[in-house]
């Protein structure tokens, strides 16, 4: 309701000018003429933040505002928030990222299962103390793991070229390899071809050129069914759009990979009873709380929804798991759970391709780190390098291997 008008009509030129001015002022660059459905998740987040700032509100409620921003973008956002609070604006900052809470907040209120646990001053708090309040126990921030014992190549991507929804190049001659017994991390600023790469590997998008093989089987352009049959597991970037059918029950969601095969299906008929029998042990094994086989997936918390996705994708012991932003929006307890499950795949001799915007997650889990920039792998680095060095490569700079 705050859009500029020229008489009864929207003043498009003035609206674009306002967006450009806000973008420059707050360092959140967006294309005013782009359709929201055609831009990446990171840019969509920037649009939401700009929209709130444009209204000049006295109270800002930001829900996971940094989920898809780079370290520099987060620093810029924090500068904006500090300037706003200095002018008397109040900010409620909702996040699972404890480091950010300690950096930006004056006070922090911890919730657990919908109830307030405590409110503390950040000056006397630590990540460990906040995490313990959140989950009721000590949490491992840097997960312990043995050295990788990489085996034979399981996933081979060669000279891959993929277009985005507008028909423009998103992945440009990209090659990578994932061996059994290793986790390969892909780090990069959102919108540099990560989503298109994942979709091509998992059969959701047909590549323009190149080759994708799983344990020697060519699955290039074969579709989702071929990818599943070859041994690909997919923890989707957007669990609501790609990972789950929210109106389906947990039993139905857990059957989505194998519903055409026995014992779930016989003579073309799907057995609800067998779906429930399959679901019960998986829900228990993966500690899915608040849900039974007949519970709609949409009624669960984000962390428990993600556990359902992981249970379905890992139950069949895929040769290669493609994990795209697997901990987005999860609390520290759920993050720890997801990390342990991915390490179990690696330690069982399977391969994991981890695509994440969280550098700490990449550095904690990956045995090798590939940096993607404008659809190309521009560097391969050790997980031991600093965030700053990885960040340089993410922006197209040169970094030591």
d(CA 179, CA 393): 24
Which contiguous run of DSSP H or E holds residue 15?
helix 12-26
Beta pairing partners, 368: 184
Pick the CATH number of 152-395 from 1.10.150.120, 3.30.300.30, 3.90.1410.10, 3.40.50.300: 3.40.50.300
Residue 351 in 3-state DSSP?
strand
Burial of 395 (C-beta count, 10 Å sphere; 0-12/13-18/19+) = middle
CATH of domain 5-135: 3.40.50.300
Q: C-alpha angle with apex 383: 347 to 313, nearest 5 degrees? A: 40
Query: Helices 127-135 and 332-347 meet at what angle, rounded to 10?
Result: 90
d(CA 174, CA 163): 12
Q: What pLDDT was estimated at residue 160?
A: 98
Q: What pLDDT was estimated at residue 139?
A: 67
Report domain extents, the chain.
Answer: 5-135, 152-395
Contact between 224 and 269 (Cβ < 8 Å):
no
End-to-end Cα separation, the chain, in angstroms: 51
Structure tokens at 340: 């342990």
Question: Would the CATH topology of 5-135 be identical to that of 152-395?
Answer: yes
Q: What pLDDT was estimated at residue 211?
A: 98
Q: What pLDDT was estimated at residue 37?
A: 80
Which pTM was predicted? 0.76
Contact between 362 and 380 (Cβ < 8 Å):
no
Contact between 185 and 365 (Cβ < 8 Å):
yes
- C-alpha torsion angle, residues 256, 258, 259, 260 (rounded to 10): 130
d(CA 207, CA 199): 9
- Is the C-alpha dihedral spanning 29, 34, 40, 46 positive or negative? positive
Cβ within 8 Å of residue 173, ≥6 positions away: 159, 160, 161, 210, 376
The DSSP code sequence of 60-94 is EEEESTTTT--HHHHHHHHHHHHHHHHTT-EEEEE
Query: Which residue stretches of the chain have pLDDT < 50?
Result: none
Cross-sheet strand order for the sheet of 232-235 = 232-235, 320-324, 351-356, 182-187, 368-373, 376-381
Which contiguous run of DSSP H or E holds residue 254?
helix 250-254
Contact between 344 and 255 (Cβ < 8 Å):
no
d(CA 191, CA 97): 22
Structure tokens at 243: 């990972």
Which contiguous run of DSSP H or E holds residue 158?
strand 153-163
Contact between 289 and 304 (Cβ < 8 Å):
yes
Q: What pLDDT was estimated at residue 140?
A: 64
Structure tokens at 171: 């992945």
Q: What pLDDT was estimated at residue 27?
A: 66
Contact between 169 and 155 (Cβ < 8 Å):
no
d(CA 353, CA 363): 13
């Amino acid at each position: 309701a705050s859009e500029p008008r020229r008489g009864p009509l929207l003043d498009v030129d003035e609206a674009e000018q306002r967006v450009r001015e806000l973008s420059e002022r707050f360092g959140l660059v967006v294309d005013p003429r782009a359709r929201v459905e055609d831009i990446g998740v990171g840019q969509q987040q920037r649009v939401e933040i700009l929209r709130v700032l444009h209204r000049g509100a006295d109270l800002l409620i930001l829900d996971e505002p940094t989920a898809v921003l780079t370290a520099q973008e987060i620093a810029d956002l924090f500068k904006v928030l500090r300037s706003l609070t200095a002018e008397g604006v109040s900010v409620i900052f909702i996040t699972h990222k404890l480091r950010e809470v300690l950096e930006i907040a004056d006070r922090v209120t911890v919730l657990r299962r919908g109830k307030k646990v405590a409110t503390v001053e950040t000056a006397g708090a630590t990540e460990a103390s906040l995490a313990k309040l959140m989950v009721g126990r000590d949490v491992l921030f840097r997960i312990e793991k043995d050295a990788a014992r990489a085996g034979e190549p399981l996933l081979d991507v060669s000279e891959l070229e993929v277009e985005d929804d507008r028909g423009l190049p998103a992945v440009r001659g990209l090659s990578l390899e994932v061996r059994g017994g290793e986790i390969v991390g892909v780090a990069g600023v959102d919108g540099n071809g990560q989503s298109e790469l994942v979709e091509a590997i998992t059969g959701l998008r047909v590549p323009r050129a190149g080759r994708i093989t799983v344990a020697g089987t060519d699955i290039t352009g074969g579709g989702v069914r071929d990818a599943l049959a070859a041994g690909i597991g997919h923890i989707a970037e957007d669990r609501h759009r790609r990972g789950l059918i929210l109106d389906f029950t947990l039993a139905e969601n857990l059957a989505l990979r194998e519903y055409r095969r026995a014992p779930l299906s016989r003579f073309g008929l799907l057995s609800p009873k067998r779906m429930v029998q399959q679901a019960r042990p998986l829900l228990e094994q993966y500690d899915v709380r608040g849900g039974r086989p007949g519970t709609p997936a949409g009624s669960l918390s984000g962390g428990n929804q993600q556990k359902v996705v992981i249970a379905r994708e890992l139950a069949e012991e895929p040769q290669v798991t493609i994990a795209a932003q697997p901990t987005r929006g999860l609390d520290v307890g759920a993050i720890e759970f997801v990390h342990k499950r991915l390490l179990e795949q690696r330690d069982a001799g399977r391969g994991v391709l981890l695509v994440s915007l969280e550098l700490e997650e990449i550095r904690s889990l990956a045995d090798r780190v590939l940096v993607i920039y404008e659809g190309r792998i521009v560097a391969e680095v050790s997980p031991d390098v600093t965030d700053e060095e990885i960040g340089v490569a993410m922006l197209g700079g040169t970094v030591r291997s």
